[in-house]
Each structure stands twice: as C-alpha cells, then as structure tokens.
Amino acid sequence: MSVHPAIETLALTKVYGSGHTEVIAMRDATLRIEPGQCAALIGPSGAGKSTFLTAVGLINPPTAGQIRIAGRLVMDGARALTDPRRFRRQHIGYVTQKANLIGFLTARENVELAMRLNDVPASLARRRALELLDYLGVRERGDGYPPELSGGEQQRVAIARALANRPGVVLADEPTAALDGRRGRQVMELFAKVAHEQGAGIIVVTHDQRALDVFDVIYEMEDGVIRRGTPMTAEAGPATMAAPGSGLR
C-alpha cells in the first residue's frame, strides 16, 4: 500500500463570478483520505459537495488550493499540473448520481471501454470486465443495454466501470440517489468493500443518512466548508460534528 494519502486537498476554494455576483462555493476545503479508506461527504444541498468532488476529479478546477493524488501534486490553484483527462482515465474512478452509462454500449462494453481507453488488450479487458460484473453481481446482465437494466443494476455497472482500471481514487456523487433504501445500502457496502479489499481511497457524497455506518470516516460540508464528523453506527443516529482534524479512528 502507498505511503502517501490517496487524496489530499489543501485549502481548496472555488469562487464563481466576481464583485457583487461573487459566490464562494467552496472555502479552504482540506481533507485527507488514506488508501483503503472509505469516506462519506454529507451536507445539505448547495453546500458545495459536488463542487469539491468535481475539483478532486479534475473536472472543475478550484480557484485556489492544492490537490494531491497518491502524493502527486496534480492541481495548484486553477492550474492543472497534468493532463486532467489522462490522469482521470488512469487514476480516478468516477461514479455519478445517475448511473451514466454510455447508451450505445452494453453493460460489459461500458466496463471494457474504460480499460480499452488505457490500452488494455481487448481480451484482458473483456475478462476483467466480466470479473468485475461478477464481483458486483450483474454478470448475467452483461449483454444488456443500459435502458434494459434496472437502476440498481446500472449503478453496479457504473461502479464496475469506475473500478476497471484499479484506480487509487474513487469518487462517487450521490450514487444511491436513484435507488431504494435496501439497494442503496448494498451499494454503500460495496464501496466500503472495494476500499478495504482493493486499497482505493473513496469519497462518497451522499444524502442517505441510513447507510453512514459503513463508512470509515465522515466529512460534513456546509456553506463550502468541510468539517470532519464521527463515524455513524446504526445505534448512534446521525453523525455528530467534530472539529476539523479531530481523530476518528
């Protein structure tokens, strides 16, 4: 396992507009996710969770601050220090709110594509895609097109795609929003399993309070500021707030 944190952000700030139209979507957001750690990022709508996630995913650059992935400085302020798309393809798995599969590819091809873009040989990509679909319990749906799959199946395929290249970082933006409680919990448990078994650092943005007990660490975001919370257990109820940097484990 790497000695570096899987994800490390330092004082990330994102400002939209300027002057009297200026909106600060994220303010000095700092966190650290170790390899094999599965973190939840919770908070009300408009708190800046998605802004944070897209910044870490090198999709939407911050205005200020730094992002390190596996110890490598990849974003310094708004300046990308690497090709964001290539870096994402090689090191980051991204799961979105809706399953977001490519409509003209089958479930298996959606997973295969992520690997083929990284020049993984076709036969190897196919075998690993089937393994991942099997791991996520949707192998028998591999030849189905996205509209033929249920919401839960689509989300599992999207997760399989995010894991295809064995990324060091997995980012999931409300991956259970379209699922019922039982399936939502299954997905959350899956993320925790992936983090623990594959050593990936995972951040899951979620509104779903019922499955917070599966996470190793919880961060709460409000008005663009990230604070560290306490781990959730089934008995403990909603996460309690703690001062940033306070120990959890």
15/242 with CB nearer other proteins: 15
DSSP string, 190-202: HHHHHHHHH--EE
Kindly calculate the radius of gyration of the chain based on its CA atoms and give it in whole angstroms: 18
SS (H, E, C) 6-46: CEEEEEEEEEECCHHHCEEEEEEEEEEECCCCEEEEECCCC
Identified binder of other proteins from the candidate list 104, 234, 235, 249, rule CB under 8 A: 104
63/100 with CB nearer other proteins: 100
Q: Bridge partners of 201?
A: 169
Does 102 help bind other proteins (rule: CB under 8 A)?
yes
Identified binder of other proteins from the candidate list 30, 66, 90, 198, rule CB under 8 A: 90
Does 15 help bind other proteins (rule: CB under 8 A)?
no
Identified binder of other proteins from the candidate list 117, 130, 225, 242, rule CB under 8 A: 117
SS (H, E, C) 114-167: HHHCCCCCHHHHHHHHHHHHHHCCCHHHCCCCHHHCCHHHHHHHHHHHHHCCCC
Identified binder of other proteins from the candidate list 89, 139, 193, 210, rule CB under 8 A: 89
Does 215 help bind other proteins (rule: CB under 8 A)?
no
Q: Is residue 223 helix, strand or coil?
A: coil
- For the segment 24-83, give every residue that binds other proteins (CB under 8 A): 50, 54, 59-60
Residues found near other proteins in the complex (CB under 8 A): 50, 54, 59-60, 85-90, 92, 94, 96-98, 100-105, 109, 112-114, 116-117, 122, 145, 161, 173
